[in-house]
Structure 1
């Protein structure tokens, strides 16, 4: 019934039904990220602890990158095969992703546990922040298996059309994390170690829920250990399509590292703490938008596989309308009222003063984030992972990373110049990506595609 609805239900109704649970799931993911930082910011040494969490962030994004490589890399392909009625082929993507994620997660856990101290020092930990960072990372990295499998396999629940079930996977962990954080951090006095342990236990619960569904009677794509036979062609397909979301997440880790080291050089530990909050605010915009585009992905992939180009075009148009409306409104809120937002995370006057000057500059390029995110997800949903990869690299590798170093050096503008690199890169990428997307849609959805109506919302 779910797959038939992807082909026949009105697009507006279907997108709302698919996107709302996905948005809720992303908001819950956002809650995961924010809750730790809100509680950690209230600790006695909250500013140093906040900076330590920011220093650990690149490692967290590496974990996310490999999760996206096999989760988002395989889920659209599985949906396309479902659209073609090739259910056994679709199940192969589920099986291969599970075993690949299990292998990668164990490898990451071993390597990071072995070299965690030199890694954190290389990532900018000072004598003051290193103990907090070690406490957090030592426990967090032990849960990599559960983190990667719960998130990665959840993509295969979403792509079947079971958006509410996928939302529940994330909600279970987030609610548990919210309950355990204050108990472990303050009640038991475990500080940042308590925050990491709360995350580990919460992700374990999410993992068990996702496995219960994929091994149960309701799933259309069943995870099977008996029928798994490694096929290089399946892994190659997943890696090709997953390269873009992998790079996007991995490059976020590189960016966080570059931002942190530059911020420490220009403003010390307080600046690194401010960056941790700013990154959270960027996630506040990005994750709900990704919720909409994740909800649209099964509709796009299934109907593209079923050769229903009209439904694909309508889905793109409606997704753009929703995401752009949100990013315009949310960006304006953050740019105009930075101090109340910062006060949620910390009571440190120095941190609030610094962040209130940096946040409006840092977020200024996010007005068009909804369009850029829609373009990127559509590329992946229609099997054009290479194009999505290019624009991810264009924004971060060609524009943002060089500007992080060039703008402060050329303008002598300090931290403000450092922040300016983000909106400049965002604006240029969205413009170039929009021009490319026009030709892409025309080519993919011939003979009747008309991107002018897509971009003008006609």
Structure 2
């Protein structure tokens, strides 16, 4: 079984990283399309009123991401355990982890749905929903929450598939889901006249089909990790390890949503519905850059996990160096493209004059720190793959909880609406410094091991990493 993943410890690092990351980046870009397509068609359906409709989707977005955060937690934690288990030839542990991820996906999605549906209205108001955007947000979110199981399961299993080195399958599942969403959105929204409800239903159906495809992959025994029904029973030790490792990614995703409470409330105070709509559009456009960075990180993850389990630390150091160079280049290129075509990009969603005026200024300021974000993403995923929960957790919360929330609370008092936009690049810079500091410590350990195997045994290197 583990022979299917053995290439992670032998193949040329540059070729391996390219082979794993390319399909993941493509798949993540398709995932970004999920977010943008709904907003694009909502703008077309509601015409002159689309600023409030787009604002409704903007408010709904962080809550949707919180639902998916549970899948990210299960997938990140589970994939780290599985890739390290395959590298160490602990096949039975990998199987138990896979089964636990499956069962936890169902349990958690049900536990999420009940309180969210009961208290959806007050939850949205906490997130800063104004009277104008609230009805649209409710219409969209109630269907997304009802379909929560397919989001949690789909996101989790995509990570598991990548952990065994099968990035192409994860990409294909995302392509199928994204393609269906593009087709079904106008079908429900225009054909049946369902508006934002149709957008939500189309998204759920698309994700459900992609999730079933991934499920069949394991049920048919095609994976490097064999699925057995008896492994569905929750194993407390496995669950604890999944949560310990995945909590960083969970908090990162939830902190993004939690951060938006402060952002949306600041925007409602200093900019109104137009500023809320602008922020939602920028976040979704920016997701094309951020998802690409995550794709590089997810391509790195199985390489790190497998080679750490196999005690091939020099390969990890090389992979990290290449990943940092690639994510920095992606950040710079993405920023330049958005800034050069900002008018055209904003105009795709609305022609409202106030929206366009606010948007051109906001997009210029908000995204200035994107070339620095790759450092935070790669370093966080590195520590997750190594199974080092504490530094992974710290890095996961640094950008948006430790830095952005205080900044978005403080800066608008002095610079009003521009202070909200400026909080983003400043927090990116601070997270870059923290990530660089932690990365330098672990990178030195791997580099020393690579240069002189005589001065550090595998166990000594592992002990050094554990002390970080």
TM-score, structure 1 as length reference? 0.95
Question: 1:60 is matched with which residue?
Answer: 64
Question: 2:181 is matched with which residue?
Answer: 177
Q: Deviations over 1:134-185 (max 9, x none)?
A: 1111211111011111111121111111111111111111111000011111
Distance 2:301 2:447 in 1: 16
Aligned-CA RMSD value:
1.5
Question: 1:86 is matched with which residue?
Answer: 90
Count of aligned residue pairs for this structure pair: 448
The Cα of 1:448 is off from its aligned counterpart by: 3.4
Question: 1:121 is matched with which residue?
Answer: 125
The Cα of 1:282 is off from its aligned counterpart by: 2.5
1:35-54 equivalences in 2 (<5 Å)? 35-44=37-46, 45-54=49-58
Q: Deviations over 1:109-140 (max 9, x none)?
A: 11111111221222222222221111111211
Among 290, 295, 300, which residue is 2:294 paired with? 290
Counterpart contact for 1:55–1:257, Cα < 8 Å = no
Counterpart contact for 2:103–2:233, Cα < 8 Å = no
1:406-417 equivalences in 2 (<5 Å)? 406-409=410-413, 411=414, 413-417=415-419
The Cα of 1:419 is off from its aligned counterpart by: 0.7
Q: Which runs of 5+ in 2 are unaligned?
A: 453-468
The Cα of 1:441 is off from its aligned counterpart by: 2.2
Distance 1:337 1:21 in 2: 26
Distance 1:232 1:67 in 2: 18
Counterpart contact for 1:244–1:389, Cα < 8 Å = yes
TM-score, structure 2 as length reference? 0.93
1:148-163 equivalences in 2 (<5 Å)? 148-163=152-167
1:172-211 equivalences in 2 (<5 Å)? 172-211=176-215
Distance 2:127 2:430 in 1: 28
Counterpart contact for 2:95–2:231, Cα < 8 Å = no
Question: 2:170 is matched with which residue?
Answer: 166
Question: 1:455 is matched with which residue?
Answer: none
Counterpart contact for 1:71–1:97, Cα < 8 Å = yes
Distance 1:449 1:101 in 2: 43
Question: 1:32 is matched with which residue?
Answer: 34
Distance 2:289 2:10 in 1: 31
The Cα of 1:446 is off from its aligned counterpart by: 4.7
Q: Which runs of 5+ in 1 are unaligned?
A: 451-458
Counterpart contact for 1:2–1:162, Cα < 8 Å = no
SS across alignment from 1:226: helix
The Cα of 1:226 is off from its aligned counterpart by: 2.6
SS across alignment from 1:43: helix
Matched, 1:448 2:443: no
